[in-house]
Amino acid sequence: VKPMTPRCTVPKAVPVGKTASLHCHENEGYPKSTYSWYRNSEPLSPDTKSNAKLHNSSYTLNPATGTLVFHAVHKGDTGRYSCIATNDAGFAKCEEQEMEV
């Protein structure tokens, strides 16, 4: 079963240095969906260590739960965030939402 449009929760504004949690979830898809996050239409890698562009980022992305957590946000984390839920039957994307740091 193709995933439904996921419900995405993105904080509107976060002070520099604070924690920010972004959530993405849908429960219609079967098999269970995996989630990927995008900032300004660029995919965010679940593995920040292996990506040179992201090694300064302090976030954790869990593809199974759809949770994206910034441990200490900085100005560079400002942007439009969206999430895609994917399974064998297809994918669905939530609306982009702005997060300001």
DSSP states along 46-82? S-SSS-GGGTT--EEEETTTTEEEESS--GGG-EEEE
pLDDT of 23-40, one tens digit each? 999 999 999 999 999 999
Q: Which residues contact 62 (CB under 8 A, 6 or more apart)?
A: 35, 46, 68
Tokens of 38: 């995008």
Q: Which of 1, 60, 65 is nearest to 34 (CA)?
A: 65
Distance CA(67)–CA(64), nearest Å, equals 8
Contact by Cβ (8 Å): 6, 54: no
Q: What are phi and psi of 46, to 5 degrees?
A: -65, -20
Domains of the chain: 7-99 (2.60.40.10)
pLDDT of 43-100, one tens digit each? 998 776 665 565 566 799 999 999 999 999 999 999 999 999 999 999 999 999 999 9
In this prediction the pTM is: 0.89
